[in-house]
Amino acid sequence: MIDKLLLSWEEYNKKIIHLPIPYIFTIRNLEKYLVFFGAKHCYDKKDSQFHQLREEWTKFLKETKEKNCLVLVEGGRISLANSEDEGIREDGESGLITFLAHRKNIPVKSPEPSDEYVYQELTKQFSREYIYYFRTVQRICQWHRIPDESKKDLKTYLEQGFLKRDQKESRWLDFDFSLEHIKIIHKNLFNKDFDENDKEFFWEISRPDREIGILNKIARVQGLIRDIYIVEQIKKYWDEGKNLFIVFGQGHAVIQEPALRVLLK
């Protein structure tokens, strides 16, 4: 049912060009209040969206009187920084709101499906090589958003943060999780050498709102898996009586909004 309520990618492409970023919407009734902060993924503390995030958080606390509050963030993991700046540098908008919520003793959760579940669902439609390449490309796009002064080299970034975890979560024990394998898959897919600095290329081939090739199809399927699960979790917490402050990427906010407005009554 939820998949029918989500905004389609065709509708999304028509709507998104007219929307601000961050995209913010609210839902409320007599007892509960929800703020959805649809951010651009950013790790630059000077970006104006972090000022907007602080403002929305202050308004949320005032509206709810800090009662029955819960923060929901993207990414599947939650890490607490020692300062606002560190939170932004390490985890962008999720890092900042996690730090702010901790100062108010407000719990933070990440309502994401497990990587194991996502891998299982994707392998019903796509090869392991394409799935692995796509998910690594997502990390490469994230790597490009990190300010230069905080950025590790790509090989270190992937090996320290993701590759061993990917092997564990996927349960592909016989699969080669390495940057060298990525380069081979890249060559086979595009008949050209891998260039980690080609930021625009990686961005285009991994976007779900494009219809360029197989990776964009994987992005759409993965996005649907995540959005359905996230909406289910939001509804669960809402039905439990929680006031919700949600920080996800702008695309999730736009796509989930029509479903949430129907389900959260």
Q: Strand, helix or coil at 141?
A: helix
Residue 91: CB partners within 8 Å, gap ≥ 6?
Answer: 75, 79, 81, 98
pTM: 0.86
Residue 147: CB partners within 8 Å, gap ≥ 6?
Answer: 43, 44, 89
What pLDDT does residue 219 have?
93
Over residues 167-189, the pLDDT tens digits come to 888 889 899 998 999 999 999 99
Query: CB 223: neighbour CB atoms within 10 A?
Result: 18
24 CB-contact burial (10 Å; exposed 0-12 / middle 13-18 / buried 19+): middle
Over residues 53-107, the pLDDT tens digits come to 999 999 999 999 999 999 999 987 788 889 999 999 888 999 999 999 999 999 9
